[in-house]
Amino acid sequence: MAARSLLICMAMQGEADPIIRALDMRSVPWAFDPHLPFRAFSGRRNGANVTVTVSGIDPRHGVDNIGTQPAALQAYLSIQAFKPDMVISAGTCGGLEGRGFRIGEVVASSGEFLYHDRIVPIPGFEAYGRGHYPAADTEHLARDLGLRTGAVASGNALETSARDLEFFDRHDVAAKEMEAASVAWVCWMLDLPLYALKSITDFIDHPASTAEQFDRNFSAACANLCETVVRAVNWLTHAPA
Ligand code: SAH
């Protein structure tokens, strides 16, 4: 069934700007408590409402509110405000050169969303820490859009440790980023389907500095992300024949 209302949760304004322009979206000033930094932009596509929300700027540090903590609150309030029937977590990520991924390649989530840095080796809390929130089925979407799929893992560091790499191997993780598992927790509680589209800005299994790779590849990765998100929105808002 075609989606009637889609919500795209994003962290950085720079990641969202090409999508907001491509989908001809307008700012929605009433969406959030004015004390909060989150911002919303909405438009129409094939008769559906499509909204992008971003985490906004931290006024003390002048940078985007990246990471899992803003992502959870933003997702909950965005869902309350826009009542979507499907949610997409879109943004950039670290990828694995050793598994044949490319810089600027957009990966779709499959399987589950995990936290890779919530390590609590106490019975019960171990699996709780990892999250294991379900990802919506992307098999047909990924096939039609030509995307590779894998688990998406979130944590609160841009840097990657040897322990993280081992975790990604064990859990078949294709994308490392900082928000999706928190959006997945909220969607799981509210029984809403979620998948992620993440464009690779940097290789985490490469000796080059992640921050340098991120800066160098950011605009090209965001351009590819925009193209894929627009195609996914078209795909999701078209009722099957
Ligand atoms: N240097 C950037 C900071 C970006 S932090 C700046 O100037 O603002 C990384 C953001 O991109 C997060 O929102 C995260 O989801 C995503 N990301 C991209 N590559 C990542 C990686 N290797 N590890 C973790 N997050 C990554």
Q: Provide the angle, in degrees to the nearest 10, between the axes of the packed helices 210-237 and 13-22.
A: 30
Can you tell me whether residue 183 is helix, strand or coil? helix
Residue numbers annotated as active site: 15, 202
Would the CB of 112 count as within 6 Å of ligand 1? no
CA of 93 to the centre of ligand 1 (A): 7
Would the CB of 11 count as within 6 Å of ligand 1? yes
Would the CB of 179 count as within 6 Å of ligand 1? yes
Nearest CA to ligand 1 atom 25: 177
| CA–CA separation, 126 and 158 (whole Å) | 22
| CA–CA separation, 127 and 232 (whole Å) | 31
Residue with tokens 């039609």, as numbered in its chain = 144
| CA–CA separation, 123 and 129 (whole Å) | 11
pLDDT, residue 22, reads 98
| CA–CA separation, 230 and 241 (whole Å) | 20
| CA–CA separation, 2 and 141 (whole Å) | 12
CA of 4 to the centre of ligand 1 (A): 31
pLDDT, residue 240, reads 53
| CA–CA separation, 232 and 204 (whole Å) | 26
pLDDT, residue 187, reads 98
Among 82, 24, 86, residue whose Cα is nearest residue 51 = 82
Residue with tokens 């351009």, as numbered in its chain = 223
pLDDT, residue 239, reads 58
pLDDT, residue 238, reads 87
Nearest CA to ligand 1 atom 13: 66
Can you tell me whether residue 32 is helix, strand or coil? coil
Per-residue confidence in pLDDT tens, the chain, 241 aa: 688 999 999 999 999 999 999 999 999 999 999 999 999 999 999 999 999 999 999 999 999 999 999 999 999 999 999 999 999 999 999 999 999 999 999 999 999 999 999 999 999 999 999 999 999 999 999 999 999 999 999 999 999 999 999 999 999 999 999 999 999 999 999 999 999 999 999 999 999 999 999 999 999 999 999 999 999 999 999 855 3
Count Cβ atoms within 10 A of the Cβ of residue 186 and give its class: 0-12 exposed, 13-18 middle, 19 or more buried. buried
**CA 146 vs CA 7, 228, 230: distances in Å:** 22, 10, 14
CA of 154 to the centre of ligand 1 (A): 11
CA of 159 to the centre of ligand 1 (A): 9
Q: Global pTM?
A: 0.97
Mutational test site, ligand 1, from 109, 177, 216, 225, max ligand atoms within 8 Å of CB: 177
Mutational test site, ligand 1, from 103, 156, 214, 216, max ligand atoms within 8 Å of CB: 214
Would the CB of 62 count as within 6 Å of ligand 1? no
Would the CB of 116 count as within 6 Å of ligand 1? no
Q: Show the beta-strand stretches assigned E in 55-117.
A: 57-58, 63-64, 86-95, 106-115
Q: Which DSSP letter does residue 240 get?
A: P
153, 133 Cβ separation under 8 angstroms: no
231, 124 Cβ separation under 8 angstroms: no
Would the CB of 211 count as within 6 Å of ligand 1? yes
